[in-house]
Amino acid sequence: MVTLCNVVKDYPADGQLVRALDGVSLEVAAGEFVALVGRSGCGKSTLLNLAGAMDFATSGEVLLDGVSTNSRDDTTLTRLRREKVAFVFQSFQLLNTLSVVENVELPLLLAGVPRAREAALERLASVELSGLENRMPHQLSGGQMQRVAIARALVNRPRILLADEPTGNLDTATGTIILDLLRRLTREQKTATLMATHSVEAAAIADVVIELRDGKIAGIKRN
Ligand SMILES: Nc1ncnc2c1ncn2[C@@H]1O[C@H](COP(=O)(O)OP(=O)(O)OP(=O)(O)O)[C@@H](O)[C@H]1O
Ligand SMILES: [Mg+2]
């Protein structure tokens, strides 16, 4: 579902090039949960951005559900992103002026999907948030906010789920609830899930743990 072939990513910084990824090849299948670990600056977020068609590889190839992101054609990439990819972030990134159910409903309304409200309510039930539909984001706990963000990410049934430190702002117990949820939904919805994390506990629940070091794969472990 997500394939990287010998991907290099250079960023210009201070008149030089920083090599953020240095020849990375990997594959994430549908229904598979892959954790990306490694020290700060090793390239985890860069890899997620490329896997989400948010940015281009300097060389090598990224394929999402068999479609190359190399074309650099904005319309194609925006479509690819909208149809196949969902992101979950450390900071939740809910829209503060919309209620819980409106946040989850929004991707469906943007995609013109009928019966959006009903689908949003169903999604909220699947992350055990029934009853909180009409709250505003600031009236929720961190773990509840992250569950709303996950419901919103998955409401369009994306093939690819990318999570950047999804438990980074949560205590350990709440983090565990979020990780269990991500793992369950990855299997149920057969998404290809890639999660960047600093947490050993988080990596432990993944099917595969990939360690990055200086932009290269330094180790692969199957749990
Ligand atoms: N937009 C950018 N411009 C220049 N350099 C960048 C840019 N984004 C990332 N980098 C550099 O690329 C390297 C990889 O960064 P990246 O954000 O992927 O690391 P990370 O593994 O996600 O780190 P963290 O664990 O701190 O989030 C770092 O050296 C970083 O400074
Ligand atoms: Mg990062």
- Asked if residue 175 is part of any domain, the answer here is yes
pTM score, two decimals?
A: 0.93
Check pLDDT > 80 for residue 71: no
What is residue 114's predicted lDDT score, i.e. its pLDDT?
93
Determine the distance separating the centroid of ligand 2 and the alpha carbon of 8, expressed in angstroms. Answer: 17
Ligand 1 contact via 11 beta carbon (within 6 Å) = yes
Ligand 1 contact via 97 beta carbon (within 6 Å) = no
Average pLDDT score over the chain: 93
> What Cα–Cα distance (Å) separates residue 110 from each residue in 53, 74, 103, 214?
19, 18, 12, 39
Q: What pLDDT, in 10s, does the model give residues 86-137? A: 999 999 999 999 999 999 999 999 989 999 999 999 999 999 999 999 999 9
Contacts of 41 (CB under 8 A, 6+ apart): none
Output the residue whose Cα is nearest ligand 1's atom 19.
Answer: 41
CA distance 201 to 181: 14
Which protein residues have their CB within 5 A of the ion that is ligand 2?
44-45
> CATH code at 56?
3.40.50.300
- Asked if residue 138 is part of any domain, the answer here is no
What is residue 183's predicted lDDT score, i.e. its pLDDT?
94
Read off φ and ψ for residue 180, nearest 5 degrees: -60, -40
Using most ligand atoms within 8 A of CB, pick from 9, 18, 36, 54 the residue to mutate for ligand 1.
Answer: 18
Q: What pLDDT, in 10s, does the model give residues 198-220? A: 988 889 999 999 999 999 999 99
Determine the distance separating the centroid of ligand 1 and the alpha carbon of 115, expressed in angstroms. Answer: 40
- Asked if residue 167 is part of any domain, the answer here is yes
Give me the DSSP letters along 44-67: HHHHHHHHTTSS--SEEEEEETTE
Give the chain's domain count.
1
Determine the distance separating the centroid of ligand 1 and the alpha carbon of 12, expressed in angstroms. Answer: 11
Determine the distance separating the centroid of ligand 2 and the alpha carbon of 164, expressed in angstroms. Answer: 7
Of 95, 170, 105, the closest CA to residue 137 belongs to 95
- Asked if residue 51 is part of any domain, the answer here is yes
- Asked if residue 114 is part of any domain, the answer here is no
Range of the domain at 58: 2-93+159-222
- State whether the Cα torsion 56-82-182-26 is positive or negative: negative
What is residue 145's predicted lDDT score, i.e. its pLDDT?
96
Output the residue whose Cα is nearest ligand 1's atom 18.
Answer: 43
- Asked if residue 186 is part of any domain, the answer here is yes
Determine the distance separating the centroid of ligand 2 and the alpha carbon of 176, expressed in angstroms. Answer: 20
The residue that leads in pLDDT, 78 or 7, is 7
- Asked if residue 149 is part of any domain, the answer here is no
Distance from CA of residue 78 to its chain's centroid?
A: 16
Please give the share of the chain, as a percent, with pLDDT higher than 70: 100
Buried b (16+ CB within 10 A) or exposed e, 169-192: bbeeebbbbbbebbbebbeebebb
- Asked if residue 202 is part of any domain, the answer here is yes
Atom of ligand 1 nearest to the CA of 49: 18
Using most ligand atoms within 8 A of CB, pick from 45, 195, 198 the residue to mutate for ligand 1.
Answer: 45
Q: What pLDDT, in 10s, does the model give residues 147-157? A: 999 999 999 89
